Structure formats: C-alpha cells, structure tokens
Amino acid sequence: MYRIDPDRIDLVEAFKSQPFGPHAAEVKRMLNRLRWGSMQDRLVLVCVERHRRWVLGRLSGRRDRPIELDRSAQFTNLAQAEWEIFKRRWQQHTGRSLAGRVTEPAYDSSLGAARR
C-alpha cells in the first residue's frame, strides 16, 4: 500500500503552493492518504464568524457530542487553516515535523472562497 515518503518535501511544497488544487496525481495521492480515516479524532474547522473566522475542531466520532474546539487555533483564511491541518497530519503520518523544513506561506484570503 502507498506510504508517504517523509523526504518528499517537493510534494509538500506543491500542496502548499495550491492548497485547493488542482493537484498533480502524486500530490493528490498523498492528500488522499492524509484525509482517509474515520470521523473519530478527525480535525475539522468550525466557523465562528460567518465567512470570516474559523476555529480548529476535533470530532469525537460519536453522535450528539459537541465538536471539541481548540480556540487557540483560529484562522481568518481557509487556506491557512488547510495548511495548518496538513502539517499536523503530515507529522502524525510520517513521524516528522515540517517545522524548519518548509517556509510558511502567506495566502490571499480569497483562496478557497468558491466553495459552497
């Protein structure tokens, strides 16, 4: 089965440059691997100020339980949030942090706005 190569920083850079795609096949494969999994402990975003501000959340995988919010991780930009969650998942899957290995991006706030 496909495993993410922790040395493929080129894939990380490719994702970082276009967090909402379109993605090359290799990047897409990496993203699918990071996104595949159950709802339990899944990182999500919860909008706290409509179209303006989102908070990092974690699902419990159980019904009727509030989404656990991490109010220390707030975003005014969906692309920035996507990048933050990507970094966390990358570390979880590969065991290696991206800190110091890639530069932090600066996204335009309109990126990702054409979603419903």
Partner 1 sequence: MKQIVGYCDRWSAQPGDTIRVMVSTYGPKRFQAGLVRVICGDDRPLGPGFKEQPVAVPWQGEYPGRTQTNPTGSYVRVPASDSLTRISSFTVQTWVFATTPHQGRQALIAKWDRARSEGFALSIGADGASEIRVGDGAGAVASLSSGVPLLAERWYRLTASYDAASGRLALEQCPQFKLPGQASRVESRTGPMHALGACSLPLTMAALPDPTGDRWASDYFNGKLDSPRLAAHALDAASLADALSSGQPPSELLVGWWDFALDMRGDGVTDRSGYGNHGETINLPSRACKGWNWDGSQHDWRVAPHQYGAIHFHDDDLSDAGWSPDITFTVPQTWRSAVYAIKLEAGDDVTYLPLFVRPPADTATSPLALLASTATYLAYANSRITLHVDFAEIRRGHVLAYDAEEAFLQEHGEIGLSTYDTHSDGSGVRYSSRLRPILTTGLRTRVWNFNADTHLIAWLEHLGLAFDVITDEDLEREGLALLSRYRTVITGTHPEYWSTKMWSALAAYQQTSGRFMYLGGNGFYWRAAFHPTRAGVLEIRRCGAAAKYWDEEPGEYHLAFTGELGGLWRRCGQPPQTLVGIGTRATGFDRSSYYRFTAAANDARAAFMLEGISTQERLGDFGSIGGGASGLEIDAADFALGTPPHALIIASSEQHSPDMMFAPEEILFQHSMMSGEDNPQVRADVVFYETVGGGAVFAVGSIAWCASLAHDDYRNNVARLMANVLRRFLSPEPFVFRPGAEWREPPHASRAIPASVRLPGAAGGS
Footprint of partner 1 (CB under 8 A): 19-22, 25, 28, 32, 35-39, 42-48, 50-51, 54, 57, 59, 63-67, 78, 81-82, 85, 110, 112-116
| Residue in 12, 6, 15, 17 with CA at minimum distance from that of residue 102 | 12
User: Quick one: three-class SS letters along 33-81?
Assistant: HHHCCCCCCCEEEEEEECCCEEEEEECCCCCCCCCEEEEEEEECCHHHH
Q: How far is the CB of 73 from partner 1 (least distance, A)?
A: 12
Shortest Å distance, C-beta 91 to partner 1:
16
Based on CB atoms, which residue is closest to partner 1, 62 or 100? Answer: 62
